[in-house]
Amino acid sequence: DTEVTQTPKHLVMGMTNKKSLKCEQHMGHRAMYWYKQKAKKPPELMFVYSYEKLSINESVPSRFSPECPNSSLLNLHLHALQPEDSALYLCASSLGQGAEGEKLFFGSGTQLSVL
Amino acid sequence: SQKIEQNSEALNIQEGKTATLTCNYTNYSPAYLQWYRQDPGRGPVFLLLIRENEKEKRKERLKVTFDTTLKQSLFHITASQPADSATYLCALVPYRGSTLGRLYFGRGTQLTVWP
């Protein structure tokens, strides 16, 4: 299994809602990532988990809360989002052995619309 | 400022020709550079990695070069096909020894191959 699976594929939420994005991989990867991508822009790194511990937070607002329950799962909890948070949210994983040049395996993303 | 530039937002070529995409960077010293393909509404897919001590890397119809003096990578697709139409992203970890996962992406070049 060489896939990263993200659910849901599409999500529409109001500014007062609480929702969660889910990501799963069964490749034995130990590093998992959340990226945010707006139309015609590059993916922007949000969070990195390495061996189930948060290792990078790129100064993301607290209305985004990541969680890594185990080495195969990664969640992104959303609360009180703004319309400008509408974007494609991508999950990725890599071996996590610390070797330079590790390639990322991306999921298909969750297209989020905040009304 | 630090940035990654892919100099063409869009490139249109005829089937059978060679597509050449450019990635330039400033104020970084990457040990390697990666190229990804992204289709609309999907996550990026890893294509090739080239290290700073490698001048050229090939994989089937793909070729990547890396010139650390010019701070530039070129990505070539030979004998292009309509199925090659996609957005191509270059990505790098900005400095040798950078924390695992801090991979930065360029904006991408949207390639269209017409019959």
Count the residues in chain B.
Answer: 115
What secondary structure does DSSP assign to B54-96, as a single string? -SEEEETTEEEEEETTTTEEEEEESS--GGG-EEEEEEE-SBT
Which two structure tokens, joined as six digits, stand for B70? 């010019």
- Residue B43 to residue A102, Cβ atoms within 8 A: no
Mutate to test the interface with A, among B38, B51, B103, B109 (most CBs of A within 10 A): B103
Query: Tell me, what's the pLDDT at B26?
Result: 87
Q: Which residues of A touch B (CB under 8 A)?
A: 4, 31, 33, 40-45, 48, 50, 55-56, 88, 90-92, 94, 96, 98, 100-109, 111
Query: Is residue B2 very low, low, confident or very high in pLDDT (cuts 50, 70, 90)?
Result: low
From chain B, pick out residues whose CB is under 8 angstroms from the CB of A98: 100
How many percent of chain B have pLDDT more than 70? Answer: 92
From chain B, pick out residues whose CB is under 8 angstroms from the CB of A25: none
Q: CA–CA separation, B79 vs B7, rounded Å?
A: 22
Count the residues in chain A.
Answer: 115
Query: Is residue B51 very low, low, confident or very high in pLDDT (cuts 50, 70, 90)?
Result: confident
- Residue A103 to residue B46, Cβ atoms within 8 A: yes
For B5-36, what is each residue's pLDDT tens digit? 887 789 999 999 999 999 999 888 887 889 99
CA distance A3 to chain B (A): 11
Please state, as a whole number, how many other Cβ atoms lie within 10 Å of the Cβ of residue A5: 13
Query: Tell me, what's the pLDDT at B97?
Result: 62
Query: Tell me, what's the pLDDT at B32?
Result: 84
Average pLDDT in chain B:
89
Query: Is residue B79 very low, low, confident or very high in pLDDT (cuts 50, 70, 90)?
Result: very high
Query: Is residue B96 very low, low, confident or very high in pLDDT (cuts 50, 70, 90)?
Result: low
Give the 3-state secondary structure of A52-102: CEEEEECCCCCCEEEEEEECCEEEEEEECCCHHHCEEEEEEEECCCCCCCC
- The burial class, CB within 10 Å (0-12 / 13-18 / 19+), for B43 is buried
- Residue A50 to residue B108, Cβ atoms within 8 A: no
- Residue B91 sits at the vertex; the CA angle it makes with A46 and B99, to the nearest 5 degrees, is 55
Low-confidence ranges of chain A (pLDDT < 70): 1-2, 97-101
Average pLDDT in chain A:
92
CA distance A42 to chain B (A): 4
Most confident by average pLDDT, A100-104, B39-43, B85-89: B85-89
Whether residue B64 is predicted with pLDDT greater than 70 in this model: the reply is: yes
From chain A, pick out residues whose CB is under 8 angstroms from the CB of B4: 42
- The burial class, CB within 10 Å (0-12 / 13-18 / 19+), for A22 is middle
From chain A, pick out residues whose CB is under 8 angstroms from the CB of B93: 100
